[in-house]
Amino acid sequence: MPGTEIPQVLFVCVHNAGRSQMAAAFLQHLGAGRVRVRSAGSVPAEAVNPAVVEAMAEVGIDIAANVPEVLTADAVRASDVVVTMGCGDACPFYPGKRYLDWVLPDPAGQGVEAVRPIRDRIRTHVEGLLQELAPAPGGA
């Protein structure tokens, strides 16, 4: 629809190596262009958690080439919704932005068996957020 803004969502966790990477990948995949997605970390890791990469590959989403990004004030300002996942006080707050805090276990140091239930909870959260922000055409 002309003049309709595409919602922008920022997922934030401390290392941007697990939860925020999974959430961003699910929203990108399921949103199919209906939402702009980014993720970042307050203290980004060197690489995405290999168990997270494996768990996402199991559901057909390849994040092996993703690189953790540093959280910037500009990324927060550009977003309509900021979803935090354990970054605490390191997440900048801007009036007028919508903030959600998803309380999820940290997959750091966990094997793929421990990451799977976290991945599945994140998918459920993302599906709800997507339905709210940008429902699929035809209500599907």
Q: What are the φ/ψ torsions at residue 12 (nearest 5 degrees)?
A: -130, 130
- Catalytic residue flag (residue 87): yes
Residues forming beta bridges with residue 47, ordered by sequence position: none
d(CA 35, CA 81): 11
The position carrying tokens 């994140």 is 122
Segments in the chain forming alpha helices (H): 19-31, 50-58, 73-77, 112-133
- Catalytic residue flag (residue 13): yes
Q: Which of 14, 87, 126, 134 is labelled catalytic?
A: 87
Q: Which of 63, 71, 75, 91 is labelled catalytic?
A: 91
- Catalytic residue flag (residue 89): no
In angstroms, how far is the first alpha carbon of the chain from the final one? 18
Q: Which of 13, 48, 56, 133 is labelled catalytic?
A: 13
Active-site residues: which are they?
13, 87, 91
